[in-house]
Amino acid sequence: MASFSVTVPHELGQEAALARVTNFLEEVRRDHADRVSDVRGEWKGNALEFAFTASGIPVSGNLAVEDQAVRVSGPLSFMAAMFRGRIEQTIREELQKLLS
């Protein structure tokens, strides 16, 4: 099965980065409402297990906030694998906005 992986470095420290990223799913839901639905997630410490549907394609994965980076990864269905570059680019752009 295909997968996606995004790492976004930051200089905020884990606590400050976590504070910014905590609202990540809500911002995705708000900013991409025209393409994203069924957004859900559960935080466990500094890690988020999430899932959403983007343009009819289910996407799920894990987001981990570390001292110097935020890492997001997960499996991709066959259909979603065709859009892997776009999925990674969108996640990267949104995280860069949050962490800058």
What are the tens digits of pLDDT across the range 53-81? Answer: 888 888 899 999 999 999 999 999 888 88
How is 6-29 classified by DSSP, letter by letter? EEEE-SS-HHHHHHHHTTHHHHHH
What are the tens digits of pLDDT across the range 4-23? Answer: 999 999 999 999 999 999 88
**Cβ neighbours, 10 Å, residue 89:** 12
Could you give the maximum distance between any two Cα atoms of the chain, in Å? Answer: 36
Residue 15, pLDDT score:
95
pLDDT above 80 (res 24):
no
Residue 56, pLDDT score:
84
End-to-end CA distance of the chain: 33
Q: Parse the chain into domains and list their residue ranges.
A: 2-99
The mean pLDDT of the chain is: 90
pLDDT band at 35 (very low <50, low <70, confident <90, very high): confident
Superfamily of the domain at 2-99: START domain (3.30.530.20)
pTM of the model: 0.87
